[in-house]
Amino acid sequence: MRHSKLITLSLVFVFTLSVVSTPKVEAQTATSSVEILQLLETIKELQKQITALQEQQATLRNEINQNIQLARQLSLGMSGEDVRTLQEMLATDPDIYPEGLVTGFFGPLTEKAVKKFQEKSGISNVGRVGPQTLSRINQLLTEGAGKSGKIPPGLLKAPGIAKKFPGGLPGTSTTTPSDTVAPVISNSSATSTDTTVSISWNTNEPATGKVWLGTTTPVTTSNSSVKSSASKTTSHSFSFENLATSTLHYYLVSSTDAAGNTSTSTQASISTLE
């Protein structure tokens, strides 16, 4: 009799446990289903964001290709923004354009650099940007910022790209981000006496200073005096003394930051007093 009671109690306990446990299992299943749905919605939203970023990258690549193409042939004596773009490109290779002057004027130094570029590219080194040279330059720029996503050797950065993508081109990766943005030159000014010219300017980051002064335009390293300082600062000032009175002088200023990025001003002029 006692044994029968124990069996009956055991069956009641098992039945009660099954009744109590069933809602908990159903509740857990419902919660898991909600979490999965939320996760799927998050994945869909992330996929939309990835698609939007890919479209943005394609738009930016097209913008770069349009901005850094040379449109006309260039030669000695010409000037303009396309000459400046040419000089910026040539200056990325110190073996081709060691002076690195970016003036917007196609002078003898630019002509010499173009000849070196042509020789390196297997083009007749005539010193002017003719059809073959123009095509080769635009090809390199397009390859550097367009389809391949890689900058060709010797053209480590194309004009304007550093400002658009300080961290690197879309679709490329670098192990260590580097400074590729040149210092910004501002507040450039000059004062004079009868025999002295003083030139000053500021940069937005510590950089060296260099200034060329001459009486012939355009200013080149061969027809001007130069003063420089290796100290890196944001305020730059140099004076030239014992100059001829009542004489028009032309000058350029340049600054280089710690990473080796260089900015050069446009040419300006000032006269000594009588």
Q: If you average pLDDT over residues 178-205, what whole number do you get?
A: 92
- C-alpha 60/C-alpha 170 separation (Å) is 9
Q: Can you read off the two tokens belonging to residue 31?
A: 């919660």
- Bridge-based pairing state of the strands 225-240 and 268-271: unpaired
Is CATH 2.60.40.10 correct for 185-271? yes
Q: What is the pLDDT of residues 41-58, one digit of tens each?
A: 888 888 888 888 877 766
Q: What is the pLDDT of residues 63-74, one digit of tens each?
A: 544 456 777 889
Q: If you average pLDDT over residues 168-180, what whole number do you get?
A: 52
The residue that leads in pLDDT, 71 or 211, is: 211
CA angle 204, 210, 216 (to 5 degrees): 125
- At 175 the pLDDT is 47
- C-alpha 88/C-alpha 104 separation (Å) is 10
Strand (E) or helix (H) holding 191 = strand 185-192
- At 10 the pLDDT is 55
Among 44-58, 73-87, 183-197, 204-218, where is mean pLDDT lowest?
44-58
The residue that leads in pLDDT, 236 or 38, is: 236
Q: Give, in order, the Cα–Cα distances in Å from 34 to each of 5, 38, 41, 133.
A: 45, 6, 11, 64
- At 197 the pLDDT is 96
At residue 176 the predicted structure's pLDDT band, cuts being 50, 70 and 90, is: very low
The residue count of the chain comes to 274
Hey, is 186 helix, strand or coil?
strand
Q: How many CB atoms lie within 10 A of CB 189?
A: 12
- Residue 229: is its pLDDT beyond 90? yes
The residue that leads in pLDDT, 2 or 127, is: 127
Say whether the peptide bond before residue 94 is cis (omega within 30 degrees of 0): no
Q: How many CB atoms lie within 10 A of CB 98?
A: 13
- Residue 35: is its pLDDT beyond 90? no
Q: What is the pLDDT of residues 126-173, one digit of tens each?
A: 999 988 888 888 777 665 544 433 344 444 444 444 444 444 444 444
- Picking from 30, 102, 87, the residue whose alpha carbon sits closest to that of residue 252 is 102
- Residue 234: is its pLDDT beyond 90? yes
- Residue 105: is its pLDDT beyond 70? yes
The whole model's pTM is what? 0.40
- C-alpha 165/C-alpha 96 separation (Å) is 25
- At 194 the pLDDT is 94
- At 28 the pLDDT is 64
- Domain coordinates in residue numbering, the chain: 81-164, 185-271
CATH architecture of residue range(s) 81-164: Orthogonal Bundle (1.10)
- C-alpha 149/C-alpha 237 separation (Å) is 41
